[in-house]
Amino acid sequence: PDPEQAATAASDALMIVDGKEVTNGPTFNRAAGIWRTLARNEEWARLEPVRDLGEQVSSERRALPAGPTI
């Protein structure tokens, strides 16, 4: 698919599993991988759906609860 469709589909998938899957689950990891792939291309990285997916992935990562102190 084109980069806009791929970013939109990944974003939609994250919205569907919101709260049902931990942020290191398979859907989140796949969406993050798609975003990293798309963001490597400078032209694609400027597309709004790609930027939106990046923001969504980043905000989900920041929402992770603190882990145990080792």
Helix 48-62, helix 26-39: angle, nearest 10? 140
Give pLDDT, residue 47.
Answer: 96
CA–CA distance, 38 with 30 (Å, rounded to integer): 12
Q: What is the pLDDT of residues 20-69, one digit of tens each?
A: 776 778 899 999 999 999 999 999 999 999 999 999 998 876 554 544 55
Predicted confidence (pLDDT) at residue 18 exceeds the cutoff of 50: yes
Is residue 67 domain-resident?
Answer: no
Is residue 22 domain-resident?
Answer: yes
Number of domains in the chain: 1
What residues make up the domain containing 25? 3-62
**Assessment of whether the complete model's pTM goes beyond 0.85:** no
